[in-house]
Amino acid sequence: MACKVNQGRRATYQDVLDAPVHLVAEIIGGELCLRPRAPPREALVKYRLGVGLGHTFALGRSGSARHESEDWWLFHEPELRLGEEILVPDLVGWRRERMPELPATTYFTLSPDWVCEVLSSERHRLALQSKRPLYASEGVRHLWLVDVDDRTLQALEFCGDDWVPIARVQGERAVSVAPFEATMLRLGNLWS
C-alpha cells in the first residue's frame, strides 16, 4: 500500500480516476492511497465469505421466510464516499432497514453497518491504523478483520468511543459472530 503525498494539496476524485486501472485507489486523510488487487488466496477468501454470508443474509434461506434482521445488502469492494474520504473495503453490508433502496450512483455515501477487511501482511497496517478510526467516526458498528495467513477472524464492535473485540477465532471451526449470528460460518471453508 502506497499513499502519495500530493505536493501540498489534498487528493481529489480526479486523482482516483487518473490512477492506473490495475490498482485500487482510495483517499485517506487527504492522500491518494494505491494498492494492488488481492492475490488469489485473498481473493478466494473474500469470494467465499461473501457467498457464504450472502446465501443466508442477502438471498434468504432456502425454503424459509427471511426474518427482517437477516435482510442485508452485501457488496464486494464498493466505493464509499464518506465525507472527504474515499474508501474501498473488501466486503460491506447494510441492513435493508437502514438502506431500503440502492442508490442510483456508482458509489455509496451512507456508511455501512458492517465492514470486513481481508488482510495480508502489506495491507495490515493500513486497515488497522488508517481505516479503523475512519470506520468508527462514520458510524460503522461491526468490523471484521480476516487474516488469510493466520487463518483468523477477529470481530470488533464499536461501543461508546472504542472498538471492542467480540470474537477472535482461528483455524477451521464453525462460529456464529455478530452481526451475522443467525448463521454458523465454517471458517475451514474459507481457507481451503
Q: Are residues 17 and 54 in the same domain?
A: no
**Phi, psi at 163, each rounded to 5°:** -80, 130
Q: What is the pLDDT of residue 121?
A: 67
Residue 15 CA: distances (Å) to CA of 22, 105, 117: 14, 19, 23
Task: Please tell me the total count of domains within the chain.
Answer: 2
| 10-residue stretch averages of pLDDT, the chain, 192 residues long | 70 95 93 90 93 78 48 95 94 95 96 94 72 94 95 96 95 94 92 86
User: Which cell numbers hold the place of 73?
Assistant: 445488502
Quick one: pLDDT at residue 140?
Answer: 97
pLDDT value of residue 54: 87
Full domain range(s) for residue 28: 1-37
Report the pLDDT value the prediction gives residue 5, as an integer from 0 to 100.
61
CATH code for the domain in which residue 160 is found: 3.90.1570.10
* 27 and 77 in a common domain: no
Residue 93 pLDDT: 97
Same structural domain, 183 and 119: yes
